[in-house]
Amino acid sequence: MRKSIAGFAAAAAFAVVAAGCSDPTTAEAPDSSSSAGGEMAAEQWPAQDTSRDGVTLTIWAAQNSTQTAESVATEFEELTGATVNIETIPDPYEQSIQTKVATGDMPDLAFWQPTASMLTALNAKTNLQPLDGAPWVDSYTGSLADMTGLLDGTRYAALVTTPAVEGVYYNKDLFEQAGITETPSNWDEMIEDADTLKAAGITPFYEMAADRWATQWWVQVQLADAAADGLWDRVNANEETFTDPTILGAIENYKSLIDDGYFNDDIKTATFIDQGNALLDDEAAMVMQVNSYFGQLQSLTDSATLDEKVGFFPISPSGNVGTFIPDQSNAVVAFATGDDEREATARQFLSYWLGDGYQSFVDTVETVSLQDGVESPAGVPMALQEVAASLDNSVGSMQALAIANPDLYIYLADMIQGTKTPQEVAEATQQQFAEFAAAQGAAGF
Amino acid sequence: MTTTLLPARRKDQPRDARLADRRSRQDHPSWFLWPALAMLVIFFFTPTIYNFVYAFTDWSSFKSEIGFVGFDNFVKLLQNGSLLSDLRVTLVYAILVAIFQNLFGLGLALVLERDTRINRFARAAFFVPVIMSALAVGYVFQAILKPDGVLNNFLTTLTGGEVSIPWLGSTTWTIVVVAIIHAWKWMGLSMLIYLAGLKTINEEVIEAAQLDGAGYWRIFKAVRWPLLAPAVTFNFATALLGSMNGFDIVQATTAGGPGGSTELLNIFIFRTFGQGLFAQATAMSLVLFLVVALLAFPVIIYLRRRERVL
């Protein structure tokens, strides 16, 4: 009896292991890009109002993007007869999605960070539909079309809202109080302004090391010039590392600014929420942040007050070049589910969203338009318009241009807490980067 | 498993006994086991076996193929300082939790030992945290322990001076604070087991000690504590080994911070898995499994031996 149970258990376990030892997502993706000819192109990008009765699309969204697609989904349902379900996936969103997709569970569409590293993390070449030749690509303003959403030359993500830009949100009142009339036009001028503020008894910068994630912006904006010069290409090829002078220097510089008292005293325990309050309550003059920070400010006060009180300028060592970092709420990817009709409907939905439905979309969610022929609504706050305006000459962040996204922010937070030196931060980041790159099979690692 | 645990039928047994033996076997047909066994195989054995298998592969979210890579993952992990430092943090955390949880639990059991109405209510009240969601407990304590949180406000009112201690901001002491939170959550369970242990102590033994003129502490030290040994074994072992697998409370309060000083191995595993390095994460959890197993045997053997000596 005992033997037979043990035997059964072992056999069952072996069977499951043998069956399970292949990745459920391995199944060949239907290669829709191989379709050739005009007829096939029409099939690839169906007319926006093609009837889709009985087709159900599922969209995965994070807590902060779940409202974004609501209005456009409703309009699409009315237009085509399709049903669009938006499912909110709990945070940490990216981790949940990666795990689900790795186990073979996938929606038709999902909000996703459109950077090469995050597309790689989703194994885009197997799991996502290529969006090459999409009808909306030519309508993007400026260089938006080439900026992001691409992996090895193939488009996998559709940008729907303005990518975030790393830059400085500043308190206009405090600048005025310290006698600063113009925003700085390069890094050194910003530090000079910080000295002026400090002399006037005002804390120049506010950082939130307890919540950790914003620490990396300080290093990344210092790398803007180098990034324009191909820094991340060299890092991707393992020709340059985080421990080399460029990146290590930026980390050391950040550390010395903290040590020299340019930041809030409670930097170790301050949180994202504290950071929002600090700028509005005149506790500090400048905050290095991205768009979601402005969202936090909007939740604290009205647009008129913000227009009056808070401004934005991009910064880089040599000028006012922003560092763009598209996030999950900015773009949508379509999955290769293997169901031809649903895949086509998903592409059609994107065509509608960024086509006939785009004006109504930007009006409803009050965001900056990404398209030439579509006007931004009047209600978009000034700082956000400044952010959008800085996009055109901006350069890519580590997330946008590097093939992997190491936990630089955690190590920097460790540095602020005093458990890592700048050298150790660089080493830990490089080690992790190399691990990711090796897992991807990148050349040189 | 009842059937298999019965002694094997012996030839020299009388016929009646053999019949009774067979009848008792037939009372519990073996297929009664199957549902439970199926659950065990599907939800316990299989994942554990996967845990062993995938640790030796290069499974990741970056590509579709899964190939065997031998001990590569383990070699890399050992070269990476994070694993060892996180193991150290995990061990320190587990020991702290085991100590605090047993101190709190024993203290409560002694205070609430008598069966009065108030005590019964208090026992129930102290058991509530055990059934609360660990994440909820973590978030509540995070709010209480913030620099401008309830605790500091209370201390400010109490002392008159401004108190703004960052309870969760010290790279040295936060691990103690978090261990105390963990112990607070589970102390109700330890209390219950100690209470049960205290109840099993024969009244006559205590009475004899009292007649000999022993006071409360003397009785506790010389009579009750030694007789509580089985409860200590269980409580200490479960607290220590359970908190080796700790994750939720620490994730909710500090997420491994400040400066990685509370980064338990499970938090590191969670982070690695979330980044798509599934095989490395699996290898780490295999390491954790082995460490817990290696720790379990000596600890339990030692505590058992201690019971016998006492």
Chain A hits for B275, Cβ within 8 Å: 95, 98, 121, 405, 407, 436
Q: Are residues B32 and B139 in the same domain?
A: no
Interface touch B275/A212, C-beta < 8 Å: no
Instruction: Give every CB contact of residue A145 below 8 A, 6+ residues apart in sequence.
Output: A137, A138
Q: Are residues B191 and B251 in the same domain?
A: yes
H-run or E-run covering B217? helix B216-219
Instruction: Please state, in angstroms and rounded to a whole number, the distance separating the CA atoms of residues A166 and B75.
Output: 38
Interface touch A419/B259, C-beta < 8 Å: yes
Cα–Cα distance list, B275 to A41, A121, B61, B86, B266 (Å): 36, 8, 8, 18, 14
| Per-residue pLDDT at B21 | 60
| 69-98 of A, contacting B, C-beta below 8 A | 92, 94-95, 98
Q: Are residues A175 and A220 in the same domain?
A: yes
| Per-residue pLDDT at B7 | 45
The reply to whether A303 falls in a domain is yes
| Per-residue pLDDT at A42 | 56
The reply to whether A130 falls in a domain is yes
**If you count them, how many residues does chain A have?**
445
pLDDT digits (tens, 9 = 90+) for B21-52: 655 556 778 888 899 999 999 998 998 898 88
- Residue B24 touches partner A, C-beta closer than 8 Å: no
Interface touch B61/A414, C-beta < 8 Å: no
pLDDT band at B17 (very low <50, low <70, confident <90, very high): low
| Per-residue pLDDT at A23 | 46
Q: Are residues B75 and B32 in the same domain?
A: no
User: Closest approach of chain B CAs to the CA of A12, in angstroms?
Assistant: 8
Domains of chain B: total: 2
Selecting from A98, A269, A410 the residue whose C-beta is nearest the C-beta of B61 gives: A98
The overall average pLDDT reported for chain B is 87
Interface touch B33/A5, C-beta < 8 Å: yes
HEC secondary structure over A217-257: HHHHHHCHHHHHCCHHHHHHCCCCCCCCHHHHHHHHHHHHH
The reply to whether A4 falls in a domain is no
The overall average pLDDT reported for chain A is 86
pLDDT digits (tens, 9 = 90+) for B237-295: 999 999 999 999 999 998 887 888 999 999 999 888 888 888 999 999 999 999 999 99
- Residue A9 touches partner B, C-beta closer than 8 Å: yes
Selecting from A9, A23, A436 the residue whose C-beta is nearest the C-beta of B64 gives: A23
| Per-residue pLDDT at A289 | 94
- Residue B58 touches partner A, C-beta closer than 8 Å: yes
Chain B hits for A212, Cβ within 8 Å: 255, 257
The reply to whether A87 falls in a domain is yes
The reply to whether A399 falls in a domain is no
Selecting from B3, B166, B276 the residue whose C-beta is nearest the C-beta of A98 gives: B276
User: Closest approach of chain A CAs to the CA of B11, in angstroms?
Assistant: 19
User: What DSSP string runs through A79-96?
Assistant: HH--EEEEEEPPSSHHHH
Q: Are residues A96 and A135 in the same domain?
A: yes
Q: Are residues A436 and A346 in the same domain?
A: no
Residues lower than pLDDT 50 in chain A: 1-39
| Per-residue pLDDT at A442 | 86
| 106-135 of A, contacting B, C-beta below 8 A | 120-123, 126
User: Closest approach of chain B CAs to the CA of A9, in angstroms?
Assistant: 7
Domain boundary among A366, A390, A414: A390
pLDDT digits (tens, 9 = 90+) for A185-244: 999 999 999 999 999 999 999 999 988 889 999 999 999 999 999 999 999 999 999 999
Tell me how many degrees the CA angle B45-B47-B52 measures, rounded to the nearest 5.
95
Chain A hits for B45, Cβ within 8 Å: 9, 13
Q: Are residues B113 and B206 in the same domain?
A: yes
- Residue B107 touches partner A, C-beta closer than 8 Å: no
Q: Are residues B121 and B20 in the same domain?
A: no
Q: Are residues B35 and B101 in the same domain?
A: no
Q: Are residues A169 and A159 in the same domain?
A: no
Residue B5 has pLDDT above 70, yes or no: no
| Per-residue pLDDT at A202 | 95
Q: What token pair was written down for B100?
A: 């605090």
pLDDT digits (tens, 9 = 90+) for B87-97: 999 999 999 99
Interface touch A439/B274, C-beta < 8 Å: no
Q: Are residues A196 and A129 in the same domain?
A: no
Domain that holds residue B252: 55-309
More confident residue, A42 or B54: B54
- Residue B37 touches partner A, C-beta closer than 8 Å: yes
How many interface pairs between A and B have CB atoms less than 8 angstroms apart? 126
**3-class DSSP state of B242:** helix
User: Closest approach of chain A CAs to the CA of B72, in angstroms?
Assistant: 12
Q: Are residues A245 and A276 in the same domain?
A: yes
The reply to whether B2 falls in a domain is no
Residue B12 has pLDDT above 60, yes or no: no
Chain B hits for A420, Cβ within 8 Å: 259-260
The reply to whether A395 falls in a domain is no
Q: What token pair was written down for A121?
A: 């993390």
Q: Are residues B91 and B35 in the same domain?
A: no
Q: Which residues pair with A286 in a beta bridge?
A: A170, A205
pLDDT digits (tens, 9 = 90+) for A333-366: 999 998 988 999 999 999 999 999 999 999 888 8
Chain A interface disruption, residue of B61, B152, B167, B262, most A CBs within 10 A: B61
Q: Are residues A182 and A132 in the same domain?
A: no
Q: Are residues A331 and A302 in the same domain?
A: no
Chain B hits for A13, Cβ within 8 Å: 41, 45-46, 49
Domains of chain A: total: 2
Q: Are residues A306 and A423 in the same domain?
A: yes
Chain B hits for A122, Cβ within 8 Å: 61
Q: Are residues B20 and B63 in the same domain?
A: no
Q: Are residues A151 and A169 in the same domain?
A: no
Q: Helix-strand-coil percent breakdown of chain A, rounded to 5?
A: 50, 15, 40
| Per-residue pLDDT at A37 | 40
Q: Are residues B88 and B193 in the same domain?
A: yes
pLDDT band at B15 (very low <50, low <70, confident <90, very high): low
Q: Are residues B225 and B143 in the same domain?
A: yes
The reply to whether A30 falls in a domain is no
| 12-71 of A, contacting B, C-beta below 8 A | 12-13, 16-17, 20-23, 25-26
| 211-270 of B, contacting A, C-beta below 8 A | 255-261
pLDDT digits (tens, 9 = 90+) for A79-100: 999 999 999 988 778 888 988 8
Interface touch A9/B45, C-beta < 8 Å: yes
The reply to whether A14 falls in a domain is no
Q: Which residue reads 């930041």 in tokens?
A: A263
Q: Are residues B41 and B100 in the same domain?
A: no
- Residue B275 touches partner A, C-beta closer than 8 Å: yes
Whether the Cβ atoms of residue A255 and residue A186 lie closer than 8 Å to each other: no
Selecting from A1, A8, A26 the residue whose C-beta is nearest the C-beta of B3 gives: A1
Interface touch B49/A13, C-beta < 8 Å: yes
Q: Which of A183-187, B14-18, B105-109, B110-114 has the lowest mean pLDDT?
A: B14-18
| Per-residue pLDDT at A24 | 43
Chain B hits for A121, Cβ within 8 Å: 61-62, 275-276
| Per-residue pLDDT at B20 | 58
With a threshold of 0.90, tell me whether the complex ipTM lies above it: no
Q: What token pair was written down for A278?
A: 């600090």
What CATH number is associated with residue B181? 1.10.3720.10
Q: Are residues B70 and B38 in the same domain?
A: no
- Residue A419 touches partner B, C-beta closer than 8 Å: yes
What CATH number is associated with residue A88? 3.40.190.10
| 255-284 of A, contacting B, C-beta below 8 A | 266, 268-269
| Per-residue pLDDT at B95 | 95
Instruction: Please state, in angstroms and rounded to a whole number, the distance separating the CA atoms of residues A378 and A382.
Output: 10
Phi, psi of A357 (to 5 degrees): -90, 0
| Per-residue pLDDT at B178 | 95
Q: Are residues A75 and A57 in the same domain?
A: yes
Tell me how many degrees the CA angle A340-A342-A346 measures, rounded to the nearest 5.
115
Domain that holds residue A385: 48-163+327-390
Q: Are residues A132 and A210 in the same domain?
A: no
Average pLDDT on B126-133 reads 94
Q: Which residue reads 């790398």 in tokens?
A: A223
